[in-house]
Amino acid sequence: MSMSQEQVKEVWARKVALQTALSALADLPENKRAIAELKEGIASCNTELVSGTYSPPQPVD
């Protein structure tokens, strides 16, 4: 099942937010773990957009 237009918009919004956060941290090498997690999130968004499979992040308890 492919994503709805709303889901595609949500994934793009998530990707832009992650990229914005990544840009803010890019010059701070002490944030290596956070940078790696942001890059992983961006890659996940790219996978969702290419595959058409909506897979929002799960809330952390």
User: What integer pLDDT is reported at residue 55 of this predicted model?
Assistant: 86
Longest dimension (CA), the chain: 41
pLDDT in tens, 1-49: 688 999 999 999 999 999 999 998 887 878 888 889 999 999 999 999 9
Query: Which pLDDT band holds residue 58 (cuts at 50, 70, 90)?
Result: confident
User: What integer pLDDT is reported at residue 1 of this predicted model?
Assistant: 60
The answer to whether 35 and 25 are in contact (CB under 8 A) is yes
User: What integer pLDDT is reported at residue 59 of this predicted model?
Assistant: 75
Distance CA 44, CA 37 (A): 10
- What is the residue type of 27? D
Statement: residue 60 has pLDDT above 80: no
Distance CA 41, CA 37 (A): 6
Token digits of residue 4: 């709805």
